[in-house]
Structure 1
Protein backbone atom coordinates (compact mmCIF):
# COMPACT_ATOMS: atom_id res chain seq x y z
CA UNK A 1 0.00 0.00 0.00
CA UNK A 2 1.33 3.40 -0.94
CA UNK A 3 2.25 5.70 1.96
CA UNK A 4 -0.39 8.26 1.02
CA UNK A 5 -3.08 5.55 0.86
CA UNK A 6 -2.02 4.26 4.26
CA UNK A 7 -2.26 7.83 5.59
CA UNK A 8 -5.76 8.11 4.16
CA UNK A 9 -6.85 4.91 5.89
CA UNK A 10 -5.30 5.84 9.25
CA UNK A 11 -6.64 9.39 9.20
CA UNK A 12 -10.12 8.13 8.34
CA UNK A 13 -9.87 6.00 11.49
CA UNK A 14 -9.27 9.25 13.43
CA UNK A 15 -5.66 8.54 14.37
CA UNK A 16 -3.74 11.65 15.36
CA UNK A 17 -1.14 13.20 13.08
CA UNK A 18 1.53 12.34 15.67
CA UNK A 19 0.66 8.63 15.66
CA UNK A 20 0.41 8.51 11.86
CA UNK A 21 3.73 10.36 11.48
CA UNK A 22 5.36 7.85 13.80
CA UNK A 23 3.91 4.84 11.96
CA UNK A 24 4.66 6.08 8.46
CA UNK A 25 7.89 7.96 9.11
CA UNK A 26 6.50 11.14 7.53
CA UNK A 27 6.54 14.63 9.05
CA UNK A 28 3.36 16.08 10.55
CA UNK A 29 3.61 19.05 8.16
CA UNK A 30 3.49 16.67 5.19
CA UNK A 31 0.52 14.84 6.71
CA UNK A 32 -1.34 18.12 7.23
CA UNK A 33 -0.73 19.08 3.60
CA UNK A 34 -1.99 15.67 2.45
CA UNK A 35 -4.99 16.04 4.72
CA UNK A 36 -5.96 19.31 3.04
CA UNK A 37 -5.74 17.81 -0.44
CA UNK A 38 -7.54 14.59 0.59
CA UNK A 39 -10.22 16.22 2.76
CA UNK A 40 -13.16 14.83 0.76
CA UNK A 41 -11.74 11.31 0.61
CA UNK A 42 -11.00 11.32 4.35
CA UNK A 43 -14.53 12.52 5.10
CA UNK A 44 -16.07 9.83 2.92
CA UNK A 45 -13.95 7.09 4.49
CA UNK A 46 -14.86 8.33 7.97
CA UNK A 47 -18.54 8.21 7.05
CA UNK A 48 -18.17 4.66 5.72
CA UNK A 49 -16.27 3.60 8.85
CA UNK A 50 -18.92 5.18 11.10
CA UNK A 51 -21.72 3.48 9.17
CA UNK A 52 -19.96 0.12 9.57
CA UNK A 53 -19.72 0.67 13.32
CA UNK A 54 -23.35 1.73 13.52
CA UNK A 55 -24.39 -1.37 11.63
CA UNK A 56 -22.18 -3.63 13.75
CA UNK A 57 -23.61 -2.33 17.01
CA UNK A 58 -27.22 -2.03 15.76
CA UNK A 59 -27.22 1.75 15.93
CA UNK A 60 -28.76 2.16 12.49
CA UNK A 61 -32.55 2.43 12.59
CA UNK A 62 -33.06 -0.74 10.56
CA UNK A 63 -30.76 -2.69 12.86
CA UNK A 64 -32.50 -1.36 15.96
CA UNK A 65 -35.89 -2.22 14.52
CA UNK A 66 -34.74 -5.75 13.78
CA UNK A 67 -33.12 -6.23 17.19
CA UNK A 68 -36.03 -4.80 19.17
CA UNK A 69 -38.51 -6.58 16.93
CA UNK A 70 -36.92 -9.91 17.81
CA UNK A 71 -37.01 -9.07 21.51
CA UNK A 72 -40.62 -7.92 21.26
CA UNK A 73 -41.53 -11.18 19.53
CA UNK A 74 -39.89 -13.21 22.31
CA UNK A 75 -41.68 -11.24 25.03
CA UNK A 76 -44.98 -11.45 23.14
CA UNK A 77 -44.71 -15.23 22.86
CA UNK A 78 -44.09 -15.46 26.61
CA UNK A 79 -46.99 -13.13 27.37
CA UNK A 80 -49.33 -15.26 25.24
CA UNK A 81 -48.72 -18.11 27.68
CA UNK A 82 -49.83 -16.01 30.63
CA UNK A 83 -53.16 -14.74 31.82
CA UNK A 84 -53.94 -11.21 32.98
CA UNK A 85 -56.67 -12.37 35.35
CA UNK A 86 -54.72 -11.28 38.42
CA UNK A 87 -53.90 -7.79 37.05
CA UNK A 88 -56.19 -5.06 38.46
CA UNK A 89 -58.44 -3.24 35.97
CA UNK A 90 -56.75 0.14 36.49
CA UNK A 91 -53.37 -1.43 35.73
CA UNK A 92 -54.76 -3.06 32.56
CA UNK A 93 -56.18 0.28 31.40
CA UNK A 94 -52.83 1.95 32.13
CA UNK A 95 -51.04 -0.74 30.10
CA UNK A 96 -53.50 -0.32 27.23
CA UNK A 97 -52.99 3.45 27.11
CA UNK A 98 -49.21 3.08 27.27
CA UNK A 99 -49.15 0.57 24.39
CA UNK A 100 -51.49 2.73 22.31
CA UNK A 101 -49.21 5.75 22.81
CA UNK A 102 -46.15 3.75 21.84
CA UNK A 103 -47.84 2.54 18.66
CA UNK A 104 -48.89 6.08 17.76
CA UNK A 105 -45.35 7.44 18.34
CA UNK A 106 -43.74 4.69 16.30
CA UNK A 107 -45.90 5.32 13.24
CA UNK A 108 -43.07 5.76 10.77
CA UNK A 109 -45.29 7.27 8.12
CA UNK A 110 -44.18 5.06 5.26
CA UNK A 111 -44.14 6.99 2.04
CA UNK A 112 -44.29 5.56 -1.44
CA UNK A 113 -43.04 7.84 -4.17
CA UNK A 114 -45.08 7.55 -7.35
CA UNK A 115 -43.52 10.18 -9.55
CA UNK A 116 -39.94 9.98 -10.75
CA UNK A 117 -37.79 12.43 -8.83
CA UNK A 118 -35.82 14.95 -10.88
CA UNK A 119 -32.64 14.50 -8.88
CA UNK A 120 -31.26 13.52 -5.48
CA UNK A 121 -32.01 16.96 -4.08
CA UNK A 122 -35.74 16.31 -4.48
CA UNK A 123 -35.42 13.12 -2.43
CA UNK A 124 -33.38 14.93 0.24
CA UNK A 125 -35.99 17.71 0.38
CA UNK A 126 -38.78 15.16 0.70
CA UNK A 127 -36.93 13.30 3.46
CA UNK A 128 -36.30 16.56 5.29
CA UNK A 129 -39.98 17.51 4.97
CA UNK A 130 -41.01 14.17 6.49
CA UNK A 131 -38.52 14.51 9.38
CA UNK A 132 -39.77 18.05 10.09
CA UNK A 133 -43.34 16.73 10.06
CA UNK A 134 -42.41 14.07 12.63
CA UNK A 135 -40.84 16.70 14.89
CA UNK A 136 -44.08 18.70 14.86
CA UNK A 137 -46.18 15.60 15.52
CA UNK A 138 -44.09 14.60 18.54
Structure 2
Protein backbone atom coordinates (compact mmCIF):
# COMPACT_ATOMS: atom_id res chain seq x y z
CA UNK A 1 0.00 0.00 0.00
CA UNK A 2 1.27 3.46 -0.85
CA UNK A 3 1.76 5.82 2.07
CA UNK A 4 0.58 9.37 1.34
CA UNK A 5 1.71 11.66 4.14
CA UNK A 6 -0.20 14.74 5.18
CA UNK A 7 1.04 18.01 3.69
CA UNK A 8 0.43 21.08 5.84
CA UNK A 9 -2.28 23.25 4.28
CA UNK A 10 -0.55 26.58 5.10
CA UNK A 11 2.51 25.40 3.15
CA UNK A 12 0.34 24.36 0.18
CA UNK A 13 -1.47 27.71 0.17
CA UNK A 14 1.80 29.64 0.46
CA UNK A 15 3.40 27.53 -2.27
CA UNK A 16 0.46 28.00 -4.63
CA UNK A 17 0.40 31.75 -4.05
CA UNK A 18 4.19 31.92 -4.48
CA UNK A 19 3.91 30.18 -7.86
CA UNK A 20 1.03 32.44 -8.91
CA UNK A 21 2.90 35.63 -8.01
CA UNK A 22 6.16 34.49 -9.61
CA UNK A 23 4.28 33.54 -12.78
CA UNK A 24 2.72 36.98 -12.97
CA UNK A 25 6.11 38.63 -12.40
CA UNK A 26 7.89 36.48 -14.98
CA UNK A 27 5.30 36.84 -17.71
CA UNK A 28 4.26 40.45 -17.10
CA UNK A 29 7.73 41.71 -16.22
CA UNK A 30 9.03 40.52 -19.56
CA UNK A 31 5.75 40.84 -21.44
CA UNK A 32 7.18 42.35 -24.63
CA UNK A 33 9.82 39.63 -24.95
CA UNK A 34 7.32 36.90 -24.06
CA UNK A 35 4.67 38.22 -26.48
CA UNK A 36 7.24 38.38 -29.28
CA UNK A 37 8.31 34.79 -28.52
CA UNK A 38 4.69 33.58 -28.50
CA UNK A 39 3.95 35.32 -31.82
CA UNK A 40 7.05 33.75 -33.34
CA UNK A 41 6.15 30.30 -31.98
CA UNK A 42 2.51 30.40 -33.10
CA UNK A 43 3.08 32.33 -36.35
CA UNK A 44 0.22 34.67 -35.48
CA UNK A 45 -0.66 37.47 -33.08
CA UNK A 46 -3.32 35.57 -31.11
CA UNK A 47 -2.86 32.09 -29.63
CA UNK A 48 -5.87 31.85 -27.30
CA UNK A 49 -9.53 31.83 -28.16
CA UNK A 50 -10.99 35.31 -28.44
CA UNK A 51 -13.60 34.28 -25.90
CA UNK A 52 -10.95 33.39 -23.30
CA UNK A 53 -11.71 34.95 -19.96
CA UNK A 54 -8.52 36.14 -18.23
CA UNK A 55 -10.01 35.73 -14.76
CA UNK A 56 -11.01 32.13 -15.51
CA UNK A 57 -7.53 31.38 -16.89
CA UNK A 58 -5.93 32.82 -13.74
CA UNK A 59 -8.27 30.77 -11.54
CA UNK A 60 -7.38 27.61 -13.47
CA UNK A 61 -3.69 28.46 -13.12
CA UNK A 62 -4.16 28.90 -9.37
CA UNK A 63 -5.70 25.41 -9.19
CA UNK A 64 -2.69 24.01 -11.08
CA UNK A 65 -0.37 25.85 -8.69
CA UNK A 66 -2.13 24.23 -5.72
CA UNK A 67 -1.46 20.88 -7.36
CA UNK A 68 2.24 21.69 -7.88
CA UNK A 69 2.56 22.87 -4.30
CA UNK A 70 0.84 19.80 -2.83
CA UNK A 71 2.99 17.38 -4.85
CA UNK A 72 6.15 19.29 -3.93
CA UNK A 73 5.16 19.14 -0.26
CA UNK A 74 4.44 15.44 -0.66
CA UNK A 75 7.93 14.86 -2.09
CA UNK A 76 9.51 16.92 0.69
CA UNK A 77 7.74 14.78 3.27
CA UNK A 78 8.38 11.46 1.52
CA UNK A 79 12.10 12.21 1.18
CA UNK A 80 12.14 13.48 4.77
CA UNK A 81 13.99 16.66 3.80
CA UNK A 82 15.28 18.09 7.08
CA UNK A 83 17.51 20.91 5.87
CA UNK A 84 17.20 23.74 3.36
CA UNK A 85 20.01 22.10 1.40
CA UNK A 86 18.01 18.87 1.10
CA UNK A 87 14.93 20.81 -0.03
CA UNK A 88 16.98 22.63 -2.66
CA UNK A 89 18.49 19.32 -3.79
CA UNK A 90 15.02 17.85 -4.22
CA UNK A 91 14.01 20.90 -6.26
CA UNK A 92 17.13 20.59 -8.42
CA UNK A 93 16.44 16.88 -9.03
CA UNK A 94 12.89 17.73 -10.13
CA UNK A 95 14.13 20.58 -12.31
CA UNK A 96 17.02 18.67 -13.86
CA UNK A 97 15.18 15.38 -14.17
CA UNK A 98 11.74 16.53 -15.31
CA UNK A 99 11.63 20.18 -16.45
CA UNK A 100 14.89 20.38 -18.41
CA UNK A 101 14.33 17.16 -20.40
CA UNK A 102 10.69 18.08 -21.13
CA UNK A 103 11.45 21.61 -22.33
CA UNK A 104 14.52 20.46 -24.25
CA UNK A 105 12.46 17.74 -25.94
CA UNK A 106 10.03 20.42 -27.13
CA UNK A 107 12.95 22.26 -28.71
CA UNK A 108 14.18 19.10 -30.45
CA UNK A 109 10.91 17.51 -31.58
CA UNK A 110 8.59 20.47 -32.01
CA UNK A 111 11.13 22.89 -33.46
CA UNK A 112 10.25 25.36 -30.73
CA UNK A 113 12.04 28.68 -30.53
CA UNK A 114 14.60 29.03 -27.75
CA UNK A 115 13.12 32.47 -27.00
CA UNK A 116 9.90 30.92 -25.70
CA UNK A 117 11.62 27.97 -24.06
CA UNK A 118 13.74 30.29 -21.89
CA UNK A 119 10.55 31.36 -20.15
CA UNK A 120 9.65 27.72 -19.60
CA UNK A 121 13.06 27.01 -18.06
CA UNK A 122 12.75 30.02 -15.74
CA UNK A 123 9.19 29.16 -14.78
CA UNK A 124 10.16 25.52 -14.27
CA UNK A 125 13.10 26.48 -12.03
CA UNK A 126 10.79 28.61 -9.94
CA UNK A 127 8.17 25.85 -9.75
CA UNK A 128 10.67 23.25 -8.56
CA UNK A 129 13.78 24.60 -6.86
CA UNK A 130 12.40 27.83 -5.42
CA UNK A 131 9.03 26.28 -4.57
CA UNK A 132 10.70 23.42 -2.66
CA UNK A 133 12.72 25.95 -0.66
CA UNK A 134 9.72 28.18 0.11
CA UNK A 135 7.59 25.24 1.20
CA UNK A 136 10.39 23.76 3.31
CA UNK A 137 10.86 27.15 5.00
CA UNK A 138 7.18 27.25 5.97
CA UNK A 139 7.07 23.60 7.00
CA UNK A 140 5.28 20.87 5.08
CA UNK A 141 4.86 18.24 7.82
TM-score (norm 1): 0.24
TM-score (norm 2): 0.24
Q: Which has the higher helix share?
A: 2
Higher radius of gyration, 1 or 2: 1
